[in-house]
Amino acid sequence: MSAKKEKPNVLIADDSAGTRTLISHVITKLGYNALTANDGNACIHSLSSEKVDLLLLDLNMPGKNGMEVLSYLQASDIALPVIMITASDDISQAVQCIKMGAYEYLTKPVKNDRLEITVSNALSESNLKKKVQLLEKELEQQNIFRRIYGESPALKKCIEQAIQVMETEVNVLVIGESGTGKELFAQAIHNGSKRKKGPFVTINCAAISNELADSLLFGHVKGSFTGANSDHTGFFEQADSGTIFLDEIGDMNLDIQAKVLRVLQEKKIRRVGEKKERAVDFRLISATHKDFSDAIKNETFRADLYYRLEEYPLFIPSLRERREDVPLLANHFLESFCTANNIEQLALSKSVLDKLSEYDWPGNIRELQNIVRRAAINRKGNEIDSVPLLFQSKPQEKAALPERSAAEKSPPPSAFAPVPPAPEQKSKGLLLKNAELQAIIKAYELTGGNQTKTAEILGISRSSLYRKLKKFGIEKNLSLSVTKDL
């Protein structure tokens, strides 16, 4: 059973009780709800407290006249069809009202048939305009997320959450594994926000050294230190009126965290070598692949900064959580590669697509893109029937993470205390770690020890590779006869 259609509300603002009664009768006869206001101030109050679909507005009223109410609508950016009704037949007034956004101008006494036609047409045109605006908004959203491919429920839910938050000024923390597309989501949120005409400034937090932090983040003036040959605008000031994206925020140095926290609290910066403070207006989006619980517990990340960042957490699903998107992504990457390299269009065989869909994707989308490119380069015909996967069989699946609502806040740091794993969980964890280690070693063998190429094969960044090597305690010695690139 379809929902009952809501009747439009028509507000009649006129200081004449007789006029209000007569017009109310016509409006009710048409099947609409009639609301009334006896002067301009009462009209403005009703507009702010009631849902109004059409306004019938007298030009000459006490308190505020019709022109002043029209000005209020313009200043408040209220899109509403307005029909002016007045005893005056002054053409110049009519023209001025139309210029200020009025739909029509009627003179008293208004004939009922004329009023009925004008009201019906105004509401019909307004409804059509709303439908067009809704369609335009949907098309704009599709364009904003055009670089994010997939039809899986997990991805669609993530996009819906991004749409819900993008028109606000809330700080967003994008959480996801390396290679899941965190920066693409950050860019999309900016492009759909009120700040879309402003700059989008990206900072790789892991690359900022403590010595250069002040200059890079806040800028400096000429002569403030050796080598400062000119004024420099810092990242936060560059993002004024726009969005600043702090990528890999979890890798930021503790000293720098304190400085960033101060800017977030005060929205002011001071360039190195300058005494005055400058106000900056920016929206913050940050991203991490880390679990902050351990970092806060180990005091390597400030809890007060974390709660500033995580006003709205957005969880990006890994590729293994959206396996149904793998064929679509693989075909897209193949088509893009062929077009970019002027190669006749190739195809992936069904067996290859099935194999890709079963793979666990430790490097996520970035790894998939690299594998498809290499498969296209190594092809023997127009159909690709083999791919260079590091794991030739499906690896042990990871336990599913509990679903979290993006709107809910994370628990306090003390609630993040890890639960001791059961024997079976320990066994699975060891298998996964061993598989990851073997993948790294195999990639090193394939590339002759070249770290950059190894990272590409694994579908991760070079800094992520270094962290993995350090985690396994083999950053200096892989027990392989390989030579590291410098």
What's the pLDDT tens digit per position in 237-277? Answer: 999 999 999 999 999 989 999 999 999 999 999 999 998 99
Instruction: Assess if residue 180 is contained within a domain.
Output: yes
Backbone dihedral region for residue 63 (phi beyond 0: left; psi -120 to 50: alpha; all else: beta): left
Q: What does pTM read for this prediction?
A: 0.68
Task: Confirm if 18 and 34 have CB atoms less than 8 A apart.
Answer: no
User: Distance (Å, rounded) from C-alpha 117 to C-alpha 196?
Assistant: 41
* 398: confidence class by pLDDT, cuts 50, 70, 90: very low
Q: What single-letter amino acid sits at 327?
A: P
Model pLDDT, residue 486: 26
User: Distance (Å, rounded) from C-alpha 82 to C-alpha 101?
Assistant: 8
Bridge partners, residue 315, by sequence: 175
Burial class (CB in 10 A: 0-12, 13-18, 19+), 380: exposed
Domain-terminating residue out of 258, 287, 315: 315
Instruction: Assess if residue 345 is contained within a domain.
Output: yes
User: Distance (Å, rounded) from C-alpha 314 to C-alpha 164?
Assistant: 11
Contacts of 239 (CB under 8 A, 6+ apart): 198, 199, 200, 201, 280, 282
Domain that holds residue 463: 422-486
- Is a pLDDT exceeding 90 seen at residue 395? no
Please compute the mean of the pLDDT values over residues 213-232 and round it to a whole number.
Answer: 89
User: Distance (Å, rounded) from C-alpha 42 to C-alpha 13?
Assistant: 8
Please compute the mean of the pLDDT values over residues 453-473 and round it to a whole number.
Answer: 72
Whole-Å CA distances, 451 to 68, 440, 461, 464, 483: 69, 10, 10, 11, 9
Same domain, yes or no, for 155 and 296? yes
Same domain, yes or no, for 296 and 430? no
Please compute the mean of the pLDDT values over residues 102-115 and round it to a whole number.
Answer: 90
Instruction: Assess if residue 141 is contained within a domain.
Output: no
pLDDT digits over 113-128, tens only? 999 999 999 999 999 9
Would you list the DSSP string of 309-351?
Answer: HTTEEEEPPPGGG-GGGHHHHHHHHHHHHHHHTT----EE-HH
Model pLDDT, residue 99: 87
- What token pair was written down for 50? 């009631």
Task: Confirm if 304 and 292 have CB atoms less than 8 A apart.
Answer: no
Instruction: Assess if residue 1 is contained within a domain.
Output: no
Model pLDDT, residue 89: 74
Pairing type for strands 104-107 and 82-86 reads parallel
Model pLDDT, residue 62: 86
* 94: confidence class by pLDDT, cuts 50, 70, 90: confident
Instruction: Assess if residue 172 is contained within a domain.
Output: yes
Q: Which residue has the tokens 């990851």?
A: 436
Residue with more model confidence, 101 or 415: 101
Same domain, yes or no, for 159 and 115? no
What is the chain's Cα-based Rg? 31
User: Distance (Å, rounded) from C-alpha 184 to C-alpha 56?
Assistant: 47
* 110: confidence class by pLDDT, cuts 50, 70, 90: confident
Residue with more model confidence, 98 or 314: 314
Model pLDDT, residue 369: 94
* 476: confidence class by pLDDT, cuts 50, 70, 90: very low
Same domain, yes or no, for 434 and 386? no
Model pLDDT, residue 484: 36
Same domain, yes or no, for 120 and 176? no
Task: Confirm if 275 and 187 have CB atoms less than 8 A apart.
Answer: no
Give backbone dihedrals phi and psi of 244, rounded to 5 degrees, phi first. -110, 130
Specify the 3-state DSSP secondary structure of 36. strand
Model pLDDT, residue 445: 67
User: Distance (Å, rounded) from C-alpha 72 to C-alpha 74?
Assistant: 5
Task: Confirm if 212 and 228 have CB atoms less than 8 A apart.
Answer: no
Q: Which candidate, 467, 442, 462, 444, places its Cα nearest to that of 452?
A: 462
Task: Confirm if 316 and 182 have CB atoms less than 8 A apart.
Answer: yes
- What token pair was written down for 141? 């959203």
pLDDT digits over 12-68, tens only? 999 999 999 999 999 999 999 999 999 999 999 999 999 999 999 998 888 888 999
CATH number, domain of 45, equals 3.40.50.2300
Same domain, yes or no, for 119 and 152? no
Residue 182: half-sphere exposure toward Cβ, Cα within 13 Å = 26
Instruction: Assess if residue 401 is contained within a domain.
Output: no
Instruction: Assess if residue 182 is contained within a domain.
Output: yes
Residue with more model confidence, 401 or 463: 463
Same domain, yes or no, for 356 and 443? no
C-beta atoms surrounding 170 within 10 Å: 12
- Is a pLDDT exceeding 70 seen at residue 300? yes
* 400: confidence class by pLDDT, cuts 50, 70, 90: very low
Q: Name the domain count of the chain.
A: 4
Please compute the mean of the pLDDT values over residues 133-137 and round it to a whole number.
Answer: 87
Instruction: Assess if residue 411 is contained within a domain.
Output: no
- Is a pLDDT exceeding 70 seen at residue 81? yes
- What token pair was written down for 409? 């806040």
Model pLDDT, residue 421: 44
CATH number, domain of 324, equals 1.10.8.60
Same domain, yes or no, for 130 and 163? no
Same domain, yes or no, for 167 and 285? yes
Same domain, yes or no, for 159 and 299? yes
- What token pair was written down for 293? 């619980």
Same domain, yes or no, for 38 and 96? yes
**CA 46 to chain CA mean position, Å:** 35
The verdict on whether omega for the bond into residue 327 sits within 30 degrees of 0, i.e. cis, is no
User: Distance (Å, rounded) from C-alpha 332 to C-alpha 369?
Assistant: 9
Q: What percent of the chain has pLDDT over 90?
A: 59
Task: Confirm if 97 and 66 have CB atoms less than 8 A apart.
Answer: yes
Would you list the DSSP string of 235-254?
Answer: HHHHTTTEEEEEETGGG--H
Q: Which candidate, 7, 113, 124, 118, places its Cα nearest to that of 56?
A: 118
Residue with more model confidence, 404 or 366: 366
Same domain, yes or no, for 327 and 427? no
Model pLDDT, residue 227: 82
Computed over every residue of the chain, the mean pLDDT equals: 84
User: Distance (Å, rounded) from C-alpha 330 to C-alpha 346?
Assistant: 12
pLDDT digits over 402-456, tens only? 344 444 434 333 333 333 444 444 444 455 556 667 777 777 766 767 777 777 7
User: Distance (Å, rounded) from C-alpha 216 to C-alpha 203?
Assistant: 10
Model pLDDT, residue 200: 97
